[in-house]
Every structure is written in C-alpha cells, then in structure tokens.
Amino acid sequence: MKEKQLARLLVSGPPLLFLIVFFVAPSLIMILTSFRFPGEFGGLAPIMPPLEKAAGEHGFTSDAYQFFFSDFIYAEIFLKSFAVAFGTTLICLILAYPLAVLIARSRKHLRNLMVLLVILPFASNFLIRIYAWMIILGPESALSHFVNTVLGAFGIAPVTLLFSPFAVLVGMVYVHLPFMVLPLYTNLEKHDPSLLDAAQDLGANAWQRFWRVTWPLSLPGVFSGSALVFIPVLGMFAVPDILGGTGDILIGNLIKDQFLGTRDWPFGSALSIMLTLAVLSVAGLTAWLARSATGQRAI
Amino acid sequence: MKRGNLWLWSAAVLVYAFLYIPLIIVVLYSFNDSRLNAEWVGFTLFWYKALFNNTEMLLAARNSLIIALCASFCATLLGTMSGLAIHRYKLKVLPVLVFTPVAMPEILLGVSILLFFLQVLNFTLGMVSIIIAHATFCIGFVAIIVRARLQGMDESIFEAARDLGASPWQTFRLVTLPLIMPAVVAGALMSFTLSIDDFVITFFTKGVGEPILPIQIYTMIKVAVTPEVNAISTLLMLLTLIMISMAARLESSGSSEGSAKPRKTAK
Amino acid sequence: MNSPRLLFFLLVSLLPFTTGCTPQNSDAANSAKNVLHLFNWNNYIAPETIARFEKFCKCDLSQDYYADNEEMLAKLAAGATGYDVIVPTGNAIDTLIRQGALRPLDKSLLPNFKNINPAYLDTAFDPGNIYSVPYAYTLSLLGFNKEKIEQLGLPTDTWAIIFEPKYLEKIRGRVTVLDSQRELMAAALKYLGYSVNDTDEKHWREAADLIVRAKPYWAAFSNTSYIKELAVGNLWVAHGYSNDMFQAALDAQKTGRKFTISYSTPKEGAVLAVDSMVLHKSGKRPDLAHQFINFMLDGKNSAELTNLIGSGNPNLDALQYIQPEIANNKAIFPDPELIARLEMLRDLDRKQRRLLSRLWTEIKLR
C-alpha cells in the first residue's frame, strides 16, 4: 500500500511542516526568552558572554518568573482578567440564547437572513466597532444625558459611562456576541422538536421544557460558544486601551506594555507563558465539565 | 407557545438593535460635515473624497488586500489538506497543531512570531511576517470547516470510487474536491475576512514603512478621529458584506448540487 | 458547476501578483533612487519644508512615523533598518548611543550648526553633540479650559490641580493625565520637589502613592485623545504636551467654541523633551542625511514647523521667522528662570525599568 502511505504523507506533511516551523518553534522561542535576562537598554542580554567587553548579565535565569511571583499584583491582574472574561461570557450567553433559539426555529430562508445579520457587524473593522461605542458612551451623548437624567431623578450623582469598567464590558460583549450566537444556533438547530411536544404532552410548562429538555441538549453549543468568547477576551488589549478608564488594565495590556513600553521581553514572555497555562487549564476544566455533564466529548 | 414567541422576538429585536445601532451611527457620521465629529452638523461627501486622496490610507488598504489574499491562499491550501488529513487518517499531532492557534489568545501568537522572526531567523518584519502569522491562525478555521463538511458525508462514495479502481489522486480530484469545494471556498473567504480585519497579530508582526489598514485606523482612533475613520469603515463593511453574500450564495448552490448524490451521466 | 467557482478563486488569488509587487517593503524599489529615509514623529515636519528640501537636494524624502519613543525603539529592535535620519527624544538618544546604534555627525558638513541656542547643546547624554543636533522641543505641561477653571477658582500654575483632592473634587471626571510611566512619575516627582531623574525607590513610592490618591478623580490616562476632548469641552484640565495644547487651542478657536484653551508650565518645573536629529548607522545615504540636517538647521526651515504646530524651537536664527503670537507665548518659549526648572529625562537601566513597570502596574490597578 505504498501509494496510500505516500498520499498520507503528501496530504498531512506540508501543513505539519508549516505549523512546526511557524507555530511550534515560535512558541519554544517564547518559552526560551522567558528564561533570559533583558538587555540593559533594550532587547535581550546575550546567552554567551561577549568576548570583547566585560561580561555583563548573560545566560539563563528564572528572574522573570521570580518577578512574577514576587508580587501578588500580577496574580491580581490575572484574576481580574478572568473575571472580565467570565462576565463577558455570561452576558453574551444570556443575550445570545434567545436569539439563537429564534434562529434555530425559523424557516430556512429567514434563518439564513438572521444569521447573516448577526455576522454582518463582525464584517466591519474591529476597531471601528469599539470606536462607535466611544461616541455612544461619551459624556455629551444622548445616552449619557438620558442615563444621568434618570439617575438625577433618584438623587444619584451623574456618572461617566465612557472610560470605565462598564464601557470595557460593553465593548467586550459587543465584539464577541456573534461568537456565542453561531455555535449555539448550530446546536439548537439539530434538536428534535418532537421532544418538546412530548414534554408538553406530559404536562411540562414552558420553563420546564426549556430547563429540562432544551438546555441540557444545548450544553455542547453552550460550551463551544463560551470557549470562543472566554479565550479571546483574555488576550484582548484594544478594548481596555480605548474604552477603559484609569483602572482598567488587563493581562493583554500588561503583556503589550512589556514589549512595546518597558523593553522587558523576558517578563513579557513569562506573562505569555502563564497566560497560556491559564487558558489550557480553563480549556481542560471546561472539557472535563462538558464531558461529565453531557456524557460525551464536547469538541 | 405564542406568549413565549413574543418574548423571544422582543429579545431578538433588542439584541439586533444592540448590534446595529453603533454601526448605524458610524455610517451616519461618515457623512457629517464636522472635523471633530462630536455632534451632527450637516451632510457632506467630503470625507469620502478626502479618503480617496489619502495616499497613505490607500496604500494601507492595498497592503491589507495583498496580505489577505496571500494569507488566505496559503491558509486555504494548507487548511484543506489538514481538514482532509485529520478526517481521513487518525492523526494525533496535526489536530493539536492546527486547532491550538485558533484557541489561543491572539496576543500570544503575535508575540511568539515576533520573537521567532527577530531572534532565530534574524528576519526583518514586514508583509511576509504578517502573511505567515495570519496564515498560521487561519489554517485552523479552514480545517474546521472542511472537516465538518467531510464528517457529514457518506463514506460509501469514496469506497465506491476506490472499488472502481481510482487512485487516491483521482479519487481526490474527481470525487473529494468537488464535494468539499463549498467548504473550501467558505474557508477561503473566512480567512480573507479574518486577515483583513486582524488587529492584534498584525500589531506585533508588522514591520516599518508599510501601512496596514487596521493599524492605520488604530492610529487614527487614538490621534485624530475625523469622519474619514467612519468613511473607511463604512466602505469596509460594504466590501465584506459583498464577500459574505458571495460566500453564502456559493455555499448554498454548492450544497444543493454537491451533496453526495450520484449525478446522472450520459452513458 | 465547479469551473466558474474555481476560476473565480484562481483569478482572485493571482491578484497580488498583478499589482506588480510581491510582499516586500514598498521602499525596496526606492533603494536604487535618490531617497532619504526619515523616521519621524507624526506630523512633525511641514509639507512645504519637505517639498523645498526635495527640490534642494534633488532627491525624494520618504517618511515613516512613530507616536512614541518606546514604539520607535521597539521597531528598531525589531530589525527595522535603512533609516538615515531619526528624530528621537533625549532619553531615547541616550539609549541609542549606549546601544552603539548611531553614526557620529560630520560637523564640517553642518555649517548651520552655529544657529542652535547653546542652552540646548552639550546634554548629559551627548556631550559635545557628537551624535545629535536639536530639532524641536516640547514641554509637558497642563492645559485648561480657561473659563471653566477661572469660574471654579482653581490655580493654573501648579501640578497641585491634578494631584490634590481638594482641587480635584471640583473637576472630578474632567481631568486626564498622560499615559506614560516616565511622564506621569516625573510630574509627581517634580510636585514633591524631587528631580525627574531621581531613581531612589523611596521617592518613587511616594510619587506612586500621590498618583494613586489622585487617580479616582481622573477620567482616564490619555496620550492623544485629550486634544479633542479639551477642544470639544468634555475635559477641563489635561496633562499633555505643549504643541498638542497649541493644537487644541487652535481647534477650539476655529470651531467657534465659547471657551478658550490656555496652557502653562507649573511653577514646580516640568519635563523638557528635546527632539534631536540623529544618524542611524544602518542608513544608506549619510551624505543626504547631512544635507537634510543642515537644511533643517537653517532658521527659515526650522521656523516652519513651529508656525505649523507650535513646537518649541532651539534655533536662534529661526526666531525672526516665527509668528509673533507663538514667539511671545511663554508656554512655548519659556523665560530663562523657568528653563532652569525644566529637566530632560535620562534613560533607566533594566532593573529600574522593571521596578518602574511594577509601580506603574500597581498605579493602574489600585
């Protein structure tokens, strides 16, 4: 069966090679970088001591990781980012679910149209969508005036909507909502409507039909959608950058700062490794939960 | 049932409103006759004209198009191969390598490729580095789409081809490829859209001297937000709308004929 | 029905090759021609000046931009080569000199060098001006919505207005500060009476505490959007750069706002950022580079930038060409006694950078 072996090599070989060179190797480099010293005035300190000059710092060190663990503040940022990611995922789920149900139940042409309408905002430039919220949440906007008038009626001091954690959350939800809708609706579409009819015949009310039939069946979709929202949010820096206030720094901003602000590549790499480990643990945990909840592999 | 439907419809309408009101504002304000664009002043097409005279923006658009085309070409090619390989052969390593870039936060991919190019290859960052970075994460998307299509197919078609004496290459060319073509095209279009809109990875892997569209827009947002920003995004939305409708049209026409039904051939 | 789709796909994928360009630096084609590569700040040279220089040298000027010194340093570290002239700020020049990345100037090719005000020469990081020639300068100071601040009865000549809660509570949510580790710490250090280049950890912690105390009253950290927000009236006080304030004041005037933007340097002192022209050692045309530097040292050319963006001008010969409103603006051309209280930033070594980074993270998080 040599032809079959050849075919297998030809088909799986090139992508494998490409990804080893441009994905695996870079990841290894990043791990390596996290164990080096930063250059005195930028870049990295050399691995071997230079021959001409007096040897400064060189070689490998766990300095960057020690720095990470030496202060709780970095763990705090991780926790904060996870909280934002979790909050975004939850809100996306709540907003997306009814829409996904509606799309799944509609007839083919209406369904395609509705899906297209969900994807379409995603087609505009990512930054523009964030910028749009700068306009909407700005202090002189109609929405701000409205909110502050309402708050004023209750005697509460006016709030600024922009440059706040609220703005960051709105931005994150807005950018990621389509990612929750699509896996959900794909899953819901496959549900057998006769199950719901059967439940109704057996006397279940609307809530019971949802909670005991639809929801459990939709769990794989819920998990896929949640993963597609949770993980990107963790690495995002543009939203806090543009919409955030003075306290809104997330792990993505911190990593970006190390490379483009402090010239501390080892620490930036160390942070990236920690983020990777965090994401892998969350993914692993979710997969395990999904499997035990649905009795099947979710992915 | 009817009351439940009302709830669903209202929720859906609210969500659509949430999704679209900001975009409508963006499009509307692209016609605003005000440089600072803080409140509505009057209607004008000036900003679209200014956009077409903005050589840097046009260069950025051209660069982004080139990158997107090259990246989606690479990604579609390698992604289709991956999707086939993963479906056909029970591989263990390739699925992990293909799907992880999709699941990783983009900043990690951008940073690692930056370090790799600088330290190992000593390669100056530029359009090539961006194309490679984009292709790396798009491969996964194409693979997912192609594999999903293959999973929904009747395996007996391929067995029949083999029984009739077709070589693996013939099977691929005459049976598999036509059947997965809608998925391949959908993957290509998806990669194109992802690449043109990508901000984070481009941010880290771009070189100097070559404006790229999302980075241009980012600079504009942070520095001087004239209605030109609105104008370019309106145009981008239009462009992607066209591409997505084409993709949808191709996919639906493909799925009606590309289904695993034997065609009637003249004997 | 496969062929049309396949054909379309193939045509589309051939498009990049028909645009006559494989993915390369678009300047690669220029390397054969007479081109000077300038790496400069956004909007930091007047278009008329470029046109005149191109006619003078019979060459092309190709410009790339950065918005921040760190961005420029990061890009150079990322392997960006081929720049002939760069215009970094003092502390970045400090770094570049220490990295050995610069080419010494040939003063014999720079007869106009004598035009520079001696007060801006012989800096601590480049004594004797072996590598750098001053180009323009900015001050980091405070900009105000004049009428609003007068109405609230707040002082306009001290950093206290952004650091003291008793003033801040009247302008809560209407203040922004620079999103820059060095700049904000410098302002705090100055307010506390220390030098901006103080590296004593205790003093840094004092400054950090001061900042954290004031932070709840600030709207945001902003490096550029404050220009628009001030001009539109959303902000009443902004910590920013003198030429940005000039722009904001101009914008507010042009759009017929009912208020004016004023700006002044606090009496405790501030950061002086002198941007100088340097030659990067990877530049291919040092001859054109020297021509450019000498050209920009001519008073008339140098004044064009000042008239355009309100930047400070260290060139004595340029004073006669600068518009009087700008030349007489004390915020742009400070008195000698104020100059004495201005300081330039020096670069930090890696341990100090890491410490500052951690303090900055704390500041942002608390």
Give contacts of B208 with chain A, Cβ < 8 Å. none
Which residues in C lie closer than 8 A to residue A261 (C-beta atoms)?
Answer: 70, 181, 357
The reply to whether A46 touches chain C by the CB within 8 Å rule is no
C282 touches chain B (CB under 8 A): no
Residue of B nearest to C43 (CA): B223
Q: Residue A210: which residues within 8 A CB-CB, separation 6 or more?
A: none
B chain contacts of residue A279, beta-carbon cutoff 8 Å = 103-105
Q: Which residues make beta-bridge pairs with C280?
A: C102
Please determine, for residue C227, whether its predicted confidence score (pLDDT) is greater than 90: no
The pLDDT assigned to B4 comes to 63
* pLDDT value of residue B222: 67
pLDDT for residue C43? 79
Residues 68-127 of C with CB under 8 A from B: 75, 77-81
Mean pLDDT calculated for residue range C198-209: 93
Cβ-defined contact of A262 to C232 (cutoff 8 Å): no
List of chains touching B (3+ CB pairs within 8 A): A, C
CA dihedral over A196, A201, A206, A209, signed as positive or negative = negative
Best residue of B57, B72, B73, B208 to probe chain C, by most C CBs closer than 10 Å = B208
**CA-based angle C46:B222:B47, to the nearest 5?**
70
Q: Do B114 and A259 touch (CB under 8 A)?
A: yes
C25 contacts B36? CB cut-off 8 A: no
Higher pLDDT: C360 or C20? It is C360
Distance from CA of B43 to the nearest CA of A (A): 18
Set of chain C residues whose Cβ sits within 8 Å of the Cβ of A259: 74
Which three-class secondary structure state does DSSP give residue C172?
coil
For residue C271, the model assigns a pLDDT of 93
> What values do phi and psi take at C342, rounded to 5?
-90, 145
Q: How many CB pairs under 8 A join A and C?
A: 87
Measured from the Cβ of residue A150, the count of other Cβ atoms closer than 10 Å reads: 10
Query: What's the maximum distance between 2 C-alpha atoms anywhere in chain B?
Result: 72
Q: Identify the three-state secondary structure at position B167.
A: coil
Tell me phi and psi for residue B117, to 5 degrees.
-65, -40
A117: its two tokens: 């309408």
Of C1, C9, C79, the CB nearest to B124: C79
Of chain A residues 4-23, which have a CB less than 8 A from chain B? Answer: 4, 7-8, 11-12, 14-16, 18-20, 22-23
* Interface with chain B: mutation pick from A12, A23, A229, A299, highest number of B CBs within 10 Å: A23
Question: What do you get for the CA distance between the two ends of chain B, in Å?
Answer: 54
The whole model's pTM is what? 0.81
Give the model confidence (pLDDT) of C29-50 as tens digits: 444 468 898 999 877 898 899 9
CA distance B263 to chain A (A): 25
Q: Is B75 on the interface with C (CB under 8 A)?
A: no
pLDDT of res. A170: 92
Verify whether the Cβ–Cβ distance B115 to A140 is below 8 Å: no
Which residues contact residue C216 at a Cβ distance below 8 angstroms, ignoring those fewer than 6 apart? A246
* C211 vs C226: CA distance, rounded Å: 19
**pLDDT at residue C102 above 90?**
yes
C73 touches chain A (CB under 8 A): yes
- Whether B257 sits inside 8 A of C9 (CB atoms) is no
Q: Is the pLDDT of residue A205 over 90?
A: no
Q: What is the mean pLDDT of residues C74-81?
A: 72
pLDDT of amino acid B37? 63
For residue C80, the chain B residues in CB contact (below 8 A) are: 124-125, 207-209
Q: What is the mean pLDDT of residues C78-89?
A: 84
Give the nearest chain C residue to B39 (CA atoms): C232
Q: C5 and B188 in contact by Cβ < 8 A?
A: no
How many angstroms away from the CA of C233 is the closest CA of chain A? 9
Task: Using an 8 Å CB-CB cutoff, list chain C residues near B253.
Answer: 1
* A296 confidence band (pLDDT: 50, 70, 90): low
Strand partners, C312: C137
Of B22, B132, B222, the CB nearest to A132: B22
CB contact under 8 A, C354 and A160: no
- Tens of pLDDT along chain B (267 residues) come to 455 678 888 888 999 999 888 888 888 888 887 766 666 777 888 888 888 888 888 888 889 989 999 999 999 999 999 988 888 887 888 888 888 888 788 888 888 888 888 777 777 778 888 999 999 989 988 888 888 888 777 788 888 888 888 887 788 888 888 888 878 888 888 888 888 888 888 888 877 667 888 888 887 776 666 788 788 878 877 877 787 777 667 666 655 443 344 444 444
**Nearest residue to A125 via CA among B232, B211, B224, B57:** B232
- Compute the distance between CA of residue C238 and CA of residue C45 in angstroms, rounded to an integer: 25
- Nearest-Cα distance to chain B for A34, in Å, is 11
Contact across the interface for B112 and A121, Cβ inside 8 Å: no
pLDDT at residue C27 is higher than 50:
no
Q: Which of C216, C233, C361 is nearest residue A73 as measured by Cβ atoms?
A: C361
The average pLDDT across C134-142 equals 93
Q: Which residue among B62, B208, B257 sits closest to C19, beta carbon to beta carbon?
A: B62
CA of C198 to nearest chain B CA: how many angstroms apart? 31
pLDDT score for B262: 42
* Contact in structure between C36 and C59 (CB atoms under 8 Å): yes
Partners of C26 on chain B (C-beta within 8 Å) are: 59, 63, 209-210
The residue of chain A with its CA nearest to that of B89 is A8
Please calculate the CA angle A19-A21-A22 and round it to the nearest 5 degrees. Answer: 65
Residue A185 in contact with partner chain C when CB distance is under 8 A: no
**A42 DSSP assignment:** S
Looking at residue A183, its pLDDT comes to 84
C253: contact with B, CB 8 A cutoff: no
Which residue among B127, B181, B222 sits closest to C24, beta carbon to beta carbon? B127
Cα separations (Å) of B8 from A90, A105, B11? 18, 11, 5
What is the distance in angstroms between the Cα of B72 and the nearest Cα belonging to chain C? Answer: 9
Using CB atoms, pick whichever of C71, C99, C353 lies closest to residue A260. C71
Are B85 and A8 an interchain contact pair (Cβ–Cβ within 8 Å)? yes
SS3 label, residue A2: helix
Average predicted confidence (pLDDT) for chain A: 83
The SS3 assignment for C194 reads: coil
Cβ–Cβ below 8 Å for A30 and B115: yes
Q: What is the CA A236 to chain-centroid distance, rounded?
A: 7
Contacts of A127 in chain B (CB under 8 A): 199, 214, 217-218, 221
Q: Which of C12, C77, C81 sits opposite B69 (nearest CB)?
A: C12
In this predicted model, which residue has the larger pLDDT, B119 or A195?
A: A195
Other Cβ atoms within 10 Å of C37 Cβ, number: 27
Of the candidates B108, B167, B252, the beta carbon closest to that of A3 is on B167
The answer to whether the CB atoms of C25 and B254 lie below 8 A apart is: no
What does each C-alpha distance from B225 to A128, A171, C225 come to in angstroms? 11, 18, 9
User: What distance in Å separates the CA atoms of residue C211 and residue C222, rounded to the nearest whole number?
Assistant: 15
For A32-87, what is each residue's pLDDT tens digit? 888 888 877 767 777 766 665 555 677 788 888 888 888 888 999 999 999 999 99
When the pLDDT of each residue in chain C is averaged and rounded to a whole number, the result is 85
Least confident span in A200-204, C17-21, C107-111: C17-21
Helices (H) and strands (E) in chain B, counts: 12, 0
Q: How far apart are CA B226 and CA B134, in angstroms?
A: 29
Lowest mean pLDDT among A173-187, B20-34, C293-307, C320-334: B20-34
